[in-house]
Amino acid sequence: MLDIRGLSKRFGYGKGEVTALHEVSFQIAEREFFTLLGPSGCGKTTLLRLIAGFTGPSGGSIVLDGKDIAAMPPNRRPVNTVFQSYALFPHMTVGQNVAFALEAQGRPKSEIDPAIDEMLTLVQLLHLKHRKSSELSGGQQQRVALARALVARPRILLLDEPLSALDMKLRKDMQIELKRLQRETGLTFIFVTHDQEEALTMSDRIAVMSGGRVQQIATPRELYDRPANRFVAGFIGESNFLSAMASGGVVEVGDGKVHLADAPDGALTLMIRPEHVVLSAKAPDALQLEATVNQLVFFGTDTHVHLLLNDGTKIVARVQNALHAGQSFHEGERIFLSLPSNALRVVNEAEAEA
């Protein structure tokens, strides 16, 4: 439905020119929950503003339903945006806030009233229809902003970090609510966030961005299990990185060896997630290493065991407390690690180029 083709954005002139987006290209399907994920300054909000029409591109095209809308003013695009600050009218009631977009379009009252009730029912706020928006909680205001954006039935809903102002529990609740709303309305959502948990929880696909470039586009599970490079591996979830040498499919890390058929010859970097590190056991088809327990960090359901390999490399193992209730470790203790070959990934150190 949406085809981003070689989209670029530059700010400033001459020596002061800064490139915020480097010829970004990707496609988004109809009814997809698509997330732009990355650290501050990576270009994700710039990309969202280009799709909304709040700023113009320096190059490339934005094709919606086969038509290039890059030069179309924002008020003519079938796109609505929910911002970080909800921008509600404090002197208006909830119902009046939701009605504003339809009134601006000149819709008749006979059409507006049922649409308001439908949207407020969808966001579970119909009982607050006549309350002033300034009297609502942060989570309720966010739902009103969503209802106002949805009531005009846009082809695409853009969401610019709309959950960042909420506390942790409410943010988690709203993650579930946003996904429910997207499924029930059948709209395409493009969501911007720097929070990997939000992205993994809600998205059908995620575009991980860094330095104005897309590093990888994939489903949450694909990103977690098979990151394209070290940046993605480090940004999505927690990762351990090991320097290694490979020859003929045999990979050496310190005193340990393991067979990885896809490992290219020469120096490389291996990645393994903390939950795959097996402690105090020698497993078949695994890289066997010796380490010292450096620190234990209790997280309720898990304990993170921070370790030092013989060469000083740091590695973290995640141990589920319910499954290892009888197993205890002590700082300074020497233990064996097993890193299963099917959990080891060779990662590219280089990020994506333009």
Q: Please tell me the predicted confidence (pLDDT) of residue 325.
A: 62
Tell me which residue range forms the domain holding 276.
Answer: 238-347
Interatomic CA distance for residues 133 and 329, integer angstroms = 53
Q: Please tell me the predicted confidence (pLDDT) of residue 282.
A: 77
**How many residues are recorded in the chain?**
354
Q: Please tell me the predicted confidence (pLDDT) of residue 59.
A: 95
CB-based contact 267:302 (threshold 8 Å): no
Together in a domain, 246 and 176: no
CA torsion, ordered 148, 151, 157, 160, to nearest 10 deg: 0
For the record, the structure tokens of 90 come out as: 């404090």
Strand 156-160 vs strand 278-279: parallel, antiparallel, or unpaired? unpaired
Tell me, yes or no, whether 252 lies in a domain: yes
How many other CB atoms sit within 10 Å of the CB of residue 341?
16
- List the pLDDT tens digit at each of the 354 positions of the chain: 999 999 999 998 888 899 999 999 999 999 999 999 999 999 999 999 999 999 999 999 999 999 999 999 998 999 998 887 778 888 999 999 999 888 888 888 888 999 999 989 988 899 999 999 889 888 888 889 888 888 888 999 999 988 887 788 878 888 888 898 899 889 999 999 999 989 999 999 999 999 999 999 999 999 999 999 999 999 998 999 999 999 999 999 988 999 998 899 999 999 999 999 998 777 778 999 999 999 999 888 889 999 999 989 999 999 888 776 657 788 999 999 999 999 999 998 877 764
CB-based contact 210:42 (threshold 8 Å): yes
- The CATH number of the domain holding residue 321 is 2.40.50.100
- The CATH number of the domain holding residue 107 is 3.40.50.300
How many other CB atoms sit within 10 Å of the CB of residue 275?
15
Tell me, yes or no, whether 340 lies in a domain: yes
Q: Please tell me the predicted confidence (pLDDT) of residue 8.
A: 96
Question: For residue 273, which amino acid is it?
Answer: R
State the angle between helix axes of 94-104 and 138-150 in degrees (0 to 180), rounded to the nearest 10: 20
Q: Please tell me the predicted confidence (pLDDT) of residue 353.
A: 63
Tell me, yes or no, whether 186 lies in a domain: yes
Q: Please tell me the predicted confidence (pLDDT) of residue 322.
A: 78
Given 180, 211, 230, which residue is the final one in a domain? 230
Number of domains the chain contains: 2
The sheet carrying 18-28 orders its strands as 18-28, 2-11, 59-64, 67-68
